[in-house]
């Protein structure tokens, strides 16, 4: 058993490429486990048993969420402790290489920008300018104001109605985000509101004319 204790002490003192997550010494065997880095899903575990004057190393290479584990077993003469340390060093070094590759693979990916088409916005702004005079416009009908505004940086459009000398009373008729998918429908809706605003003022205009006639 002194040879097993000697092997355990040597493993503790050896500077492997990865740290042992656990290392346990019992009467007749040594248990150990080595895990990877934060992104790695691969880990190595095993036991070394002293039996019939020889060491038997039984290892398992496991991958999280995968049932197909890799196992191997190797026997060593009792006097050949150095070969056990060498084989462990090689296995752990390769595990470290795998971990580094996984880390690089994960880290190299950055966020990708979703392609943005500006063609629709250009067409939308041109239509607003053609129909209403620009991306911000205000129309007055007998003290009632219709305000159409489009913020090109945020693609938010709003159509508001205000009334009063200073426009102190206001309500939002239409507001939302314009996109490549809905910009034509938005234009139609804004145009409908504008047309309704113009047509609805005719009755007010008729009353205004009648009042004007009363004082003539």
Using an 8 Å Cβ cutoff, are 89 and 16 in contact? yes
* Strand ranges, E, within 22-154: 22-25, 29-35, 42-51, 54-63, 70-77, 136-141, 144-151
Record the tokens describing residue 205, joined without a space.
């205009």
What does pLDDT average to in each consecutive run of 10 residues of the chain (216 residues)? 87 90 89 77 87 91 70 91 93 86 74 70 94 92 85 93 72 93 94 86 52 47
Where along the chain do its domains lie?
2-107, 126-214
Residue 150 is predicted with a pLDDT of 96
Positive or negative CA dihedral for 94, 96, 98, 104? negative
* Global confidence as pTM: 0.52
**CA-wise closest residue to 40 among 95, 114, 122:** 95
């Amino acid at each position: 058993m002194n040879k097993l204790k000697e092997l355990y002490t040597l493993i503790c003192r050896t500077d492997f490429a990865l740290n042992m997550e656990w290392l346990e010494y019992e009467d007749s065997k040594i248990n150990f486990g080595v895990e990877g880095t934060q992104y790695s899903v691969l880990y190595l575990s095993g036991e070394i048993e002293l039996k019939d004057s020889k060491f038997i190393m039984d290892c398992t290479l496991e991958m999280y969420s995968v049932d197909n584990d890799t196992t191997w077993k190797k026997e060593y003469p009792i006097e050949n402790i150095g070969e056990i340390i060498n084989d462990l060093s090689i296995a752990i070094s390769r595990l470290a290489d795998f971990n580094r590759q996984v880390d690089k693979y994960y880290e190299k990916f950055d966020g990708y920008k979703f392609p943005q088409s500006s063609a629709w916005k250009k067409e939308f702004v041109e239509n607003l300018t053609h129909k209403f005079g620009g991306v911000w416009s205000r129309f007055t009908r007998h003290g009632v104001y219709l305000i159409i505004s489009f913020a090109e940086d945020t693609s938010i459009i709003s159509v508001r109605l205000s009334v009063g000398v200073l426009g102190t009373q206001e309500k939002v008729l239409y507001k939302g985000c314009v996109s490549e998918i809905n910009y034509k429908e938005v234009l139609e809706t804004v145009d409908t509101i504008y047309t309704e605003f113009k047509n609805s003022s005719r009755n007010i205009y008729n009353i205004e004319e009648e009042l004007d006639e009363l004082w003539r």
